[in-house]
Every structure is written in structure tokens, then in C-alpha cells.
Amino acid sequence: MSRTRIIIDADPGVDDAAAILMALASPEIDVLGLSIVAGNVPLKDTVTNACKIVGVSGRIDVPVYAGAAGPLVRDQVFGKYARIGAFSDELVARSSIVPSDAHAVQFIARSAREAAEAGDPITICAMGPMTNIALALIQHPDVARGIRQIVSMGGAFTALGHRTPWAEFNIYADPHAAEIVYRSGVPIVVMPLDMTFQALFTAQHFESFRDRGGRAGGALYNLFSAFDRSDIERFGRLGGPIHDATTIAWLIKPELFTSLRATVGTQVTGLTLGYTYADFNQKMGYAPNATVVTDVDEAGFINLLIERISLYGSVAPGPKLPGG
């Protein structure tokens, strides 16, 4: 079976935890490493959270790299649950995993160059502010040829925002980085709130993580139970989205999603800083630069995530631990 080689660029974060665990459990995906950025919480906490997630997965073969501690230009903002900082040991067990000495931007650049030389470009799954990716593209322009695509969770069009009325958090946290990525010429897949709001997970689904997913599933149950993501007023029904996991699901089962080509960009100045637009009909006269995912099969996506987390409760995903 051909495996999709990816770098996960993330700012863990509860959603990120589900997405990372989904990827590490999936035989179709080869995770080269985690490139970590500040976003949901400060960098020291996102790195700690990433190491804890890798720890409960059992995938000690997957390296973690610390990256950018803040955005390129704008003042730093953190996520809705920034107060949580690093996951407590009660939520996610303490881990012996430590981050690599190399910087995340160096890791992205090196991996992309090696991929280009091998004629097998990599995919980057962007689940947080895209600062690390933008820095890699700016500082090392040759790396773009080693990136097959960037699958990004970010942006909001008809759904509007969830951090501000006009902006999705990942873009709002570093709009200048997002604009660099959108203009890089690398194929972009955009998973906006318009789509992620269509698939809502309830307490029953979280119980499935706990009951079927071993230590990893138990950690996800703890996280989603501790930080309620439901919003009946906005969604009109029970449940909340797990945004970031859609990037991994799209790689595994793209048939669960519907998409359209569009020209996508970001507002980088003024009151509407972080606003994303999508021109689906080329009214601006520019060629499309992105694939925008517009719809998701809710039941199919939910079942896929539960299935992959359940693997942690049966046969441990990936390479065996020493002595295992």
C-alpha cells in the first residue's frame, strides 16, 4: 500500500490532538514528524501537549519539533481555551517524549528538499497558524518544489468567524503567514468553518473514544469532556466540531468531501484583519489557487475518526515500542 508522507504542523489544542492521533493510527499515512507552532496556547505549552499526544499514541518513532513562538507581524493572540496552557497529567498522561533540538522550520525545509530530490513530494497538514510553513517558504524558496500540497484547516466564508465576527482563529492569529502560503504556488486545500461546522460530535461519540480507544481514546475523552465545544445557538443542535481532523480524513477518504476550485486570500490590514475570501467564479480575474472543501459526509467522517481511534484499543498503531 502506498502511504501518504506528511508533516503535521499544529498548535495542540484539543482538535489537534484528535487529528494527530487519527493520523498516527492510520496505515495510509506516514507521519514524518510534528512541526509545532504557538497558537491555541503559547509555544512551550503546544510543544508539551504535542509530546504528550505522541506519548499516549505509543509512536515514539515520530519526532516533535518546536517552531515559531509568535506570528510574523501582528500582535500575538491565543485561542479560546488559552487558559488551559499545557494539558494536565489528569487529562493526558505525562510523557517521556522530548522535542528534537532542530527547529521546525529547518525540519520542514530539510524534509521538502529530500522529498524533491527523491521525486516524491510531501504533504503538509496545517492545523494552526501557518507561521512555520510561511517561514520555510520565505527563508528557503527551493522547498516549495518538495511540497505536493498543503491541506489547511482555516478560514471562514459564509460561516463567518469564531474568534471574531469575520475571522477563523488559525488565519486571524497570523494572517500574513496565511497570505504567504496562499500565494506560494504550492497546491492548497482549504478546510473552512463552513464545512467543519457540518459534522458535530456529541458526548456519545466521546464515550466511544474512551470505551474503544485505549489510552489514546481515554485522553481524547478527557479533553473533549473538559472543554465543551457545543453551541446550540449557532449550530441548531447538540454537538460540536472537531475541525482539524478533517485534514487527515480528507487524505484517507476524499470521497467523504465535496470541493470547488477558488481564488483564496486573506485580509492583512485594517479592522477585518484575518478575514478570508473565496472567489469561486473568478470575478477578480485571477486563476484559482486553492481547492475549497465545501461539504462533508457527517456520518462517514464521524465513523472514520471513531474507527481510527479505536485502533488504539486493539492492536497498537505503527511500530512496536521497545520490548513490545
Residues labelled catalytic: 243
In angstroms, what CA-CA distances link 132 with 114, 135, 253?
18, 5, 27
SS3 letters for the chain? Answer: CCCEEEEEEECCCHHHHHHHHHHHHCCCEEEEEEEECCCCCCHHHHHHHHHHHHHHHCCCCCCEEECCCCCCCCCCCCCCCHHHCCCCCCCCCCCCCCCCCCCHHHHHHHHHHHHHHHCCCEEEEECCCCHHHHHHHHHCHHHHHHEEEEEEECCCCCCCCCCCCCCCHHHHHCHHHHHHHHCCCCCEEEECHHHHCCCCECHHHHHHHHHHCHHHHHHHHHHHHHCCCCCHHHHCCCCECCCCHHHHHHHHCHHHEEEEEEEEEECCCCCCCCCEEEECCCCCCCCCCEEEEEEECHHHHHHHHHHHHHHHHCCCCCCCCCCC
Distance CA 124, CA 251 (A): 11
Instruction: Please classify residue 231 by burial: count the beta carbons closer than 10 Å to its beta carbon, then call 0-12 exposed, 13-18 middle and 19+ buried.
Output: middle
Q: What is the largest CA-CA distance in the chain?
A: 60
Strands 29-36 and 4-10 come out as parallel
**Residue 113 in grid coordinates:** 528538499
Cell 528557503: give the residue: 140
